[in-house]
Amino acid sequence: MTLSLPRPRPNVAALPTYSRAVSAPVRFRAGSNESPFGPGPAVVRAMRQACADPHLYPTLTGDLLAAALESHLDLPPEQILVGGGSLALLQHALTSFAGPGDEVVHAWRSYEAYPIVIGVAGATSVKVPLDNMARHDVDAMLTAITPRTRVVIICNPNNPTGTALEPDELERLVAGIPSDVLVLLDEAYREFDPQAVETLPWLTRLPNLVILRTFSKAYGLAGLRAGYAVGTQQVLDTIRKVTPPFGLNRVAEAAAVVALSERDHLAHTVSAVRAGRDRVRAELARMGIWTPASAANYIWLPCATQVDDLAHACAAAGVGVRAFAGEGVRFTVGTSGAEQEFLAAARSLIM
Model pLDDT for residues 282-315, shown as the tens digit of each residue = 999 999 999 999 999 999 999 999 999 999 999 9
Asked if the model's pLDDT at residue 321 lies above 90, the reply is yes
**pLDDT at position 348:** 92
Helix (H) or strand (E) holding 273: helix 263-286
Residue 279 and residue 335 in contact, taking contact as beta carbons nearer than 8 Å: no
CATH T-level fold of 41-259: Aspartate Aminotransferase; domain 2 (3.40.640)
Percentage of residues of the chain with pLDDT beyond 70: 98
**pLDDT at position 24:** 67
**pLDDT at position 11:** 87
**pLDDT at position 298:** 99
**Strands lying side by side in the sheet with 298-301:** 298-301, 328-332, 322-324
User: Any idea what DSSP says for residue 290?
Assistant: -
| Distance (Å, whole) CA 29 – CA 334 | 9
Confidence band of 1 (pLDDT split at 50, 70, 90): low
Helix (H) or strand (E) holding 70: helix 63-73
Asked if the model's pLDDT at residue 341 lies above 70, the reply is yes
Report domain extents, the chain. 17-33+263-350, 41-259
Q: Pick the residue with more confidence: 17 or 253?
A: 253
Q: How far is CA 49 from CA 31, 44, 146, 307, 311, in A?
A: 31, 9, 51, 44, 40
Contacts of residue 201, defined as CB under 8 A and 6 or more positions apart, other chains included, come to none
| Distance (Å, whole) CA 153 – CA 114 | 8
**pLDDT at position 22:** 56
**pLDDT at position 217:** 98
Q: Name the CA dihedral angle for 206, 208, 214, 219, rounded to a multiple of 10 degrees.
A: 10
Superfamily, domain 17-33+263-350: Aspartate Aminotransferase, domain 1 (3.90.1150.10)
Asked if the model's pLDDT at residue 96 lies above 70, the reply is yes
- pLDDT tens digit string along 142-154? 999 999 999 999 9
Contacts of residue 108, defined as CB under 8 A and 6 or more positions apart, other chains included, come to 127, 128, 129, 130
Distance from the Cα of residue 113 to its chain's centroid: 9
Beta bridge partners of 298: 332
Residue 115 and residue 151 in contact, taking contact as beta carbons nearer than 8 Å: no
- pLDDT tens digit string along 16-54? 887 766 556 789 999 999 999 999 999 999 999 999 999
| Distance (Å, whole) CA 245 – CA 259 | 23
Other CB atoms closer than 10 Å to residue 278's CB: what's the count? 12
Helix (H) or strand (E) holding 340: helix 336-350
**pLDDT at position 51:** 96
Number of H helices, E strands in the chain: 12, 12
